Amino acid sequence: MSIEATQFTSASLPEAERREAGRIAQGITAAVVKGLLHRADPKAFAISADVDTLENQAAAAVRSIDAQTFEHMRPKLQQLAADTAKVQKLTGVAVPELKKSNAIIFKPAALPQGAVPRSGSAPQKYRRLDLNLRKLHCVDETNGGVFSPEDGTDDMVLGAIRIGASGNVDYTKAIVAGEFAHDNTYRNFGELPFGSVSLRTTPGYPKTFYWIFQLVESDSDDAEVAAGITSALRTVVTMVAGMVGGAGIGAIAGAVVDAIGMIIGLFIDDDVFSPYGVAIRLNSENDLGSDGVRDEHTGNISAHGGTYRIGYRLRLV
């Protein structure tokens, strides 16, 4: 058998997991919004003094956003605080309630974990699965982009979240992925490490892993956009760790995809592509051949009238 790498969204999940993914995503979004609004205006949006509450954890996660990035976000957060309909849509909580301490309460539901991996007594040959970024190719320009009559350029920034077989979650810092113009539509990264997951957090096979890519067309300072994306990804990762409870890995991955899509616009002002998820199923340690290296995978990320093709290679180490 060979490794399977397929595009993933929360819509790919069975109904029960999809519902739980949606619940977790809105819980993450509500907590993050409360934490952001509290940092912007601590008096208006009170936070519980209990360090174990979800909103207190969100406030702590938000405090890790560097001052420059947060000041760039502040005007948008002030606009959000005044838009009661949008706040309630994002959080599921009316603004007067959201302003109270301990307004965000979330209890994860335990869901069936699916098939138990086949355990074996033989020692594992490999320790981890690496994903190396290989290329980004502008297949079709965004509106006003690289093939427009004005010969504009697209400055692209890319980050990612990855989910291990046991549901452990981590992020890869966003990078400036290149400037794409009418005479330069291809960026070759060689073998750029873009995150790894342990093979030893669960016994036996099969194992499923997820990578969630976030692509953004930067219309401002690329380094600031990368910092904003990284802050958003790190905040989601921090919140997921305290919220998933007994949820299955599919529900966790679905929640990550949906939560990024809901909050990323609060961190940056630029043209955001929908998060692009990949589900990677490893049926055995032999799936990548005798050398543990897989030929390149590709996938198309589309938005704003444009398409970018990402290329990556999987490697067992």
Residue 105 maps to a domain: no
Q: What gap in Å lies between CA 74 and CA 179, rounded to an integer?
A: 28
Q: Tell me the whole-structure pTM to 2 decimals.
A: 0.90
Which two three-digit tokens encode residue 141? 């320009």
Q: Which residue has 């007594």 as its token pair? A: 121
The CATH number for 269's domain is: 2.60.40.150
Q: Which domain holds residue 233?
A: 128-316
What is the H or E stretch that residue 258 is in?
Answer: helix 249-267
The last residue of one of the domains, among 48, 76, 98, is 98
Q: Rounded to whole angstroms, how far apart are CA atoms 263 and 260?
A: 5
Q: Do 260 and 312 fall into the same domain? A: yes
On whether residue 6 sits in a domain, the answer given is no
- Nearby residues of 274 by Cβ (< 8 Å), 6 or more positions away: 261, 301, 303
Residues 53, 148: one domain?
no
Same domain, 84 and 206: no
**Tens of pLDDT along the chain (317 residues)?**
468 899 999 999 999 999 999 999 999 999 999 999 999 999 999 998 888 888 899 999 999 999 999 999 999 999 999 999 999 999 999 999 999 998 877 765 654 444 444 444 456 789 999 999 999 999 886 665 544 444 567 899 999 999 999 999 999 999 999 998 877 789 999 999 999 999 999 999 999 999 999 999 998 899 999 999 999 999 999 999 878 766 789 999 999 999 999 999 999 998 999 999 999 999 998 898 888 898 899 999 998 888 999 999 999 99
